[in-house]
Structure 1
Amino acid sequence: MAPPPGLDAVLEFCSRISEADPRLDADLLLRAGRFAAEAHAKQARQNGEPYIIHPVAVAEILAGYRLDTETIATALLHDVVEDTDHKLPEIERRFGAEIARLVDGVTKLSRIEVQSERTKQAENLRKLLLAVSEDLRVLLVKLADRLHNMRTIAFVTKPESRNRTARETLDIYAPLAERIGMEQLKTELETLAFRELKPDAWATIAQRLTYLRGRSEDIIPEIEQELRDTLDVNGVPYEEVQGRAKSPYSIWRKMQAKNVAFEGLSDVMAFRIIVPERAHCYLALGAIHDAYKVIAGRFKDYISTPKTNGYQSLHTGVLLPGRRDEAKIEVQIRTREMHHIAEYGFAAHWIYKQGPQAAQPARSFPWVRALVDILETEDEANEALESTKLELHRELVFCFTPKGDLIELPRDATPVDFAYHVHSQVGDACVGAKVNGRIVRLHDKLENGDQVEIITAKGGQPNPAWLKFVKSGKAQARIRRFAQAEEKQKQRDEGRTAIVKAFRMNGLEFQEKLLEPAVKALRQSGVEEMYHQVASGSISARDVVHAAFPELRGPQRPVEPTALVSGRARLGRSGSAKQTAVPAAPITGVVAGMQLHFAQCCHPIPGDRIVGIVTTGKGVTIHTQDCHMLENFSATPERFLDVDWEQGALGPATHVVRLTVQAVNGPQLLSSVANAISKQKAVLTNLRLGRREDEECDLNLDVEVRDTRHLAELMGTLRACEGVIRVDRAKN
């Protein structure tokens, strides 16, 4: 019988790994590899290779992190149950209960991944996190699986499949890798996903990094030697000084955050100092700060206050004298053990030293439970997914409880975020807070090292106004759910009260069972829905009475149904907007039949956070949540309507937005801008030259885009144009 395709790759891997790591059970891995090769014998990857090459590659990645035998065997077997006729009981019989349990966990994650509908993604993420909360090794295998799939994504033929996989990698898997300290794996996932999602931006940044290295080939070694000399002069022992350019994706994110072009970034290089002992970290820091000018706000001490994923290091930013380019650098100082944890993952180090039983992250990774709580709190799948992404992508600030427990929060978090992190009920009942023993306002921002004490009141409830300043996904999810339930109950009560009043005006005694004929006549799903329809104005209380008692109905005049219309803003040279009727962009939260308009002051587009303002006789006007005109309605909060864009529905093909571009005026500027707009398949409807000083100028562009994602891609492409300094969306 001929050996299965790819068996030679299995044998070569098992031979190499048994020599490299004597801890591993070479016989078990060889049996697992042979079994997987035979199971996948009739299958091939999209690039034509035998399928077993993929499991071997996943196992190779995990072996590089010196993981245990069970995890590597799971990598070899992770697709057997999903893609072949072999079932889980056979895996357990051949390889034991522990490996079978891990394979089962990875298999379940693979099954949920094939569902692409957005409304199912929150449930998929919930299952992922529940599996991770039971055994971290499930996530390690899944991350290695995703990394190899991203390395070979070019062989996937369907562009929409590549895009979906890359987007999920960037939104979910790369942040999860960061949370468990696998910095090296996270960086590669981000780079591969970024190259797939934004190939033009990736190519531009990669080209400029190559140019930078070529132009300044000796700068990194020169700065490395300068740092060594500084340490030597101060008698600070060190093992290694190494420099590197930052990854294209991290540079892209910094360009977006600072709203600057590549030329506006000066700290695209980072240097790492490895020292023998923890105390030497602070000696090295003192030497660096004594030799160079420190950049304010760039110092972080993750040694005395480690990140919750175990990361420890000193970070500082300094200004190098005598250089026009690359004047600012980031310096990281750590021990060899800290470096191992930072590069290869605290999880892998932890499992290696403490054994597989330590792979239950419930205590050491409380963020897993926090993310599951968000998914269990949110009613809407889209809101749950956004809250979870927010929680994964946050920058951090570290605070303490009065007992000294460390609480990790997103940057700019408030005492309310702190309260919800402690417990949902503490957040609900929060009425005040003390920071470092002093009473503060609930919307004050917390700083690193703050000690926070939450003041609660029995029977306290969340305040929907907190949504304006809370930063954590968990707090937002909990407050939003309470606000929605409260608004729904309020609307229900208002509708019922109106109907009771209408009954009395007609000399009738109200009883809810009398509404049953009206429910059927008005085509409502039930009495509760009818209450809400009356409160929103879609149905009048009088209509309900007449539907319940037709004999009370007088002569009727025919009524023309109100069409749902919306305005599409067209910006002229003066900046004013004219409204023309077009098919409406579907908006949830607006009762069918009510007139709908888009505000001319802020021009919302799909993807913007929006709010509706009810105006008697005019219907609902949609504003962005940061529109300055909303201040005019602050005295009448009852006119505010909780609305959102309907997911997956088709509205107007394009919406006009105004962009302001600050750039260096040159002969190629207009052609570069026009090419960038054309490349993103946007339409330029108006262009006006604004401020013009010396060599710089401002361009005001009116551009048609589909939604905020399309707008972000367009702005990113414009920022990458040569000569462009910054790009902003015009507001109000």
Structure 2
Amino acid sequence: MRQYELIERVRAYEPDADEALLNKAYVYAVRMHGSQTRASGDPYFAHPVEVAGILTEYRLDTASIITALLHDVIEDTSATRQDIENLFGAEVAELVEGVTKLSKLELTADYARQAENLRKFILAISKDVRVLLVKLADRLHNMRTLHFIAKPAKRERIARETLEIYAPLARNIGCHRICSELEELAFEQLNPMARTAIIRRLEVLRGEQGKAVMTVSNDVARLLEADGIATRVFGREKHPFSIWRKLQRKSVGFSQLSDIYAFRVIVDSEADCYRALGLIHRAWPCVPERFKDFISTPKRNNYRSIHTTVIGPKGMRIEMQIRTEAMDRVAEDGVAAHWRYKNKSYGFDAEHMEAEGGRDPLSNLRQLVAVLEHGGDAEDLVEHAKLEMFLDQTFAFTPKGKLVSLPRGAMPLDFAYAVHTDVGDSTIGAKINGELKPLRTPLVNGDVVEIIKGAKPAVPPDWRSLTVTGKARSAIRRHIRQTEKEEFLRLGKAALFQAFERVGKSRTGVSLRPALERLDVPTDDDLYDAIGRGRITPMQVMEVVFPGMDDTARAAAVARRAIDDGKESRIFVRGAGLAPGVTLHFMPCCTPVPGDRIVGIMREGVNEVDIHTIDCRTLAQYEDQGDRWRDLAWTPEAERNTSSRAKLRVTILNTPGVLGEVCTIIGEAGGNIVGLKMTHRQEDVFDVDVDLDVTDNRHITTIIAALRACPSVEGAERPMG
């Protein structure tokens, strides 16, 4: 983009923009980046110019555009913050410095460094949302040019960081357009095979339903205009990554998804939204439990719309999204939709946002700041912060009618901590819609929750499995952190001793002092504790203690260990209710793997515990035997270098070559098949039970989604009892 083109774009929506300052920033960026080039071979200064161009699409103020032009000069050139302040003012200098700090965020296996970077990241963007908007535009342009990077590992790291950090942050502030493009670009890098399969299915569907989409759009428009409602109706196709995420989350095949096509109905006013809803429901029958009113109860990111699904022509399920033009802009651009002129100056208009039913765009990020303030170790900080970024809403109410927004799957303890930390700490029970319910009961939209409080705070360790929000988990964690020291120390010692055994060495007589000095820990116990918490790996200790270790021994030290039954399984599973010397059994009815939420059932008369996933149907028979239940969780050791046996049930069409296709998909996704059993169900369909080794539940979820995207697969799921 040329200099005059950028200036014209800004002046198109901000005629009073400081053209001289914009020109000065453009020239300064070109001069400072000089002869630097990007991986594509283009001059480096083309990148900040393109980032600025992206922000003009969202009509951001002059300071934001200048920040985009200068966002890399402190990090990549000799320029300093003081130089920027002298030339462009304190506001721009602060924004540029904020974006520079964000550029240092990296997803690595080093939880301590990742946690510290994440802490700085959240604190920086919680002060001024423009810092995040510039960084999102920066990341978007980097993702658009990611294919120029030669190293596959680096491309994968950047794509995963985009999917886990930047896309959720864009969603948090309502920037749907940026979020969707980031997700698609990352998906293309991380799982190109699955994306290609979905695109092919969409092309077939387009040919089959293209005319029907046009017919429905015309029918809805005629229906509303006949009643005097001015409207604009158009169909939109779900993005491949969004389809992939739904295939992962739901036990359905591609053909069973009802919202691959949705219709957006744009009307003039909020009142027209409800009039249009009534007309549509009178014309076509609605699908029960598929209605959501985000106008009366907006999402956390200020998204407002009415969603409904109806049975349209030829029995086709049709999802409708009814909203005004203003709601549509907020839905696509989020916080960026509220930049405008006010009092002869151009900038963010908070009053306009509130008048349209919105709220502070940084409120979601400030909840992350609250999580950070609870402290905790690095692993928990990263986990809790990511939980907060991936929230998907459920609305519940206090007995006095106050609305509490919670993530999908939230339970009464999440509700209690959302009301206040003191309420959560003193909770002993809960009433849902007037009835006493267990604390593990998932909340649904519209529930009225009354928290029953005890006389003093009491936080059992097993409460961690009764929450899903980062805020609740970090508060619970703060209470029980001290009591876990001994457990982590024992786990770390066991992991280190096993590492000695795997490399054929004896722990007896070996001094750990070199490892203490190199890894900067004061005592042996502190080293064991750090290993148990996942801050230090046994391999790091081995390489210091035995510096001449050969490649064979090194490979043995880091080899994946199978998670098997027995007393030593305590290194993989933790829980306050586990007695010393307990024998653990991973039950074949649900085949728990690391990452699953798990629960233990104590066997009667013996010191043995059966481990199930929390949604295993077998647990129903123990519902009235609460004294036998043990709340459990996986240790960091289980989630690092282990493999687990899992089961899949795949329903396939009875066609030549389909079984080979299924095995190929599993193999390409990294699964190791160890057993197959085919069951004849119908003439044209078979059920296949597959035993396979996987690393964790994310791994098996990826395999399931890849299978569901295959045209020859009718369904794939994990048996649960």
Q: TM-score range by the shorter chain?
A: 0.7 to 0.9
CA distance in 1, matches of 2:612, 2:680: 27
CA distance in 1, matches of 2:682, 2:75: 64
Q: 1:398 and 2:409 equivalent?
A: no
Instruction: Quickly say closer, same or farther: Cα 1:89–1:405, change in 2 above 3 A.
Output: farther
Instruction: Quickly say closer, same or farther: Cα 1:204–1:456, change in 2 above 3 A.
Output: same
Instruction: Quickly say closer, same or farther: Cα 1:260–1:17, change in 2 above 3 A.
Output: same
Q: 1:382 and 2:379 equivalent?
A: yes
Instruction: Quickly say closer, same or farther: Cα 1:647–1:82, change in 2 above 3 A.
Output: farther
Q: CA deviation at 1:460?
A: 2.1
Question: Do the aligned partners of 1:398 and 1:448 also contact (CA within 8 Å) in 2?
Answer: yes
TM-score, structure 2 length as denominator? 0.80
CA distance in 1, matches of 2:680, 2:377: 45
CA distance in 2, matches of 1:440, 1:635: 17
1:32 to 22, 25, 29: 25
Aligned residue runs from structure 1 range 318-357, under 5 A: 318-323=310-315, 327-349=316-338, 356=347
Name the count of aligned residue pairs. Answer: 648
Instruction: After superposition, give the CA deviation of every residue in 1:397-424 in whole Å (9 maximum; x if it has no partner).
Output: 2234566654211124333212211221
Instruction: Quickly say closer, same or farther: Cα 1:435–1:606, change in 2 above 3 A.
Output: closer
Question: Do the aligned partners of 1:566 and 1:597 also contact (CA within 8 Å) in 2?
Answer: no
Corresponding residue number in structure 2 for 1:697:
686
2:166 to 148, 151, 173: 173
Aligned residue runs from structure 1 range 194-593, under 5 A: 194-233=187-226, 235-323=227-315, 327-349=316-338, 356=347, 364-377=361-374, 379-401=376-398, 405-433=402-430, 442-450=439-447, 452-486=449-483, 488=485, 568=562, 587=572
CA distance in 2, matches of 1:723, 1:89: 62
Of 372-381 and 27-36, more deviation after overlay is shown by: 372-381
**5+ unaligned residues in a row in structure 1: which ranges?**
1-7, 493-519, 533-564, 570-577
Q: 1:599 and 2:573 equivalent?
A: no
Instruction: After superposition, give the CA deviation of every residue in 1:533-560 in whole Å (9 maximum; x if it has no partner).
Output: xxxxxxxxxxxxxxxxxxxxxxxxxxxx
**5+ unaligned residues in a row in structure 2: which ranges?**
352-357, 490-512, 530-558
Aligned residue runs from structure 1 range 135-154, under 5 A: 135-154=128-147
Question: Do the aligned partners of 2:594 and 2:638 also contact (CA within 8 Å) in 1?
Answer: no
Q: CA deviation at 1:169?
A: 1.4
Matched letter for residue 43 of structure 1: Q
SS at match of 1:293: coil
Q: CA deviation at 1:596?
A: 8.4
CA distance in 1, matches of 2:632, 2:450: 35
Corresponding residue number in structure 2 for 1:127:
120
Instruction: After superposition, give the CA deviation of every residue in 1:428-477 in whole Å (9 maximum; x if it has no partner).
Output: 12245566677766454444345555443442222444434333221123
CA distance in 2, matches of 1:277, 1:642: 50
Greater RCO (Cα-Cα under 8 Å, separation 6 or more)? 2
Instruction: Quickly say closer, same or farther: Cα 1:667–1:177, change in 2 above 3 A.
Output: same
Instruction: Quickly say closer, same or farther: Cα 1:236–1:307, change in 2 above 3 A.
Output: farther
Corresponding residue number in structure 1 for 2:716:
727
TM-score, structure 1 length as denominator? 0.79
Matched letter for residue 282 of structure 2: D
Question: Do the aligned partners of 2:263 and 2:319 also contact (CA within 8 Å) in 1?
Answer: yes
Corresponding residue number in structure 2 for 1:86:
79
Instruction: After superposition, give the CA deviation of every residue in 1:377-406 in whole Å (9 maximum; x if it has no partner).
Output: 362323332222222222212234566654
SS at match of 2:329: helix
Matched letter for residue 681 of structure 2: R
Matched letter for residue 422 of structure 1: V
CA distance in 2, matches of 1:584, 1:445: 30
Corresponding residue number in structure 2 for 1:661:
650
Instruction: Quickly say closer, same or farther: Cα 1:445–1:672, change in 2 above 3 A.
Output: closer
CA distance in 1, matches of 2:311, 2:74: 56
Q: 1:646 and 2:640 equivalent?
A: no
Q: CA deviation at 1:333?
A: 0.9
Instruction: Quickly say closer, same or farther: Cα 1:254–1:236, change in 2 above 3 A.
Output: farther
Of 468-477 and 156-165, more deviation after overlay is shown by: 468-477
CA distance in 2, matches of 1:488, 1:164: 33
Question: Do the aligned partners of 1:431 and 1:460 also contact (CA within 8 Å) in 2?
Answer: no
Question: Do the aligned partners of 2:60 and 2:336 also contact (CA within 8 Å) in 1?
Answer: no
Q: CA deviation at 1:267?
A: 2.2
Instruction: Quickly say closer, same or farther: Cα 1:406–1:73, change in 2 above 3 A.
Output: farther
Q: 1:717 and 2:706 equivalent?
A: yes
* Identity rate, percent: 42
Instruction: Quickly say closer, same or farther: Cα 1:357–1:22, change in 2 above 3 A.
Output: closer
CA distance in 2, matches of 1:121, 1:491: 21
Q: CA deviation at 1:368?
A: 1.5
Q: CA deviation at 1:208?
A: 1.5
Q: CA deviation at 1:350?
A: 5.2
Rg (Cα) greater in structure: 1
Corresponding residue number in structure 2 for 1:117:
110
SS at match of 1:157: coil
SS at match of 1:24: coil
CA distance in 2, matches of 1:15, 1:205: 40
Matched letter for residue 427 of structure 1: G
Corresponding residue number in structure 2 for 1:5:
none
1:675 to 647, 664, 668: 664
Q: What root-mean-square deviation, in Å, do the aligned CA atoms of Structure 1 and Structure 2 show?
A: 4.1
Instruction: Quickly say closer, same or farther: Cα 1:406–1:358, change in 2 above 3 A.
Output: farther
Matched letter for residue 68 of structure 1: D
Question: Do the aligned partners of 1:9 and 1:53 also contact (CA within 8 Å) in 2?
Answer: no
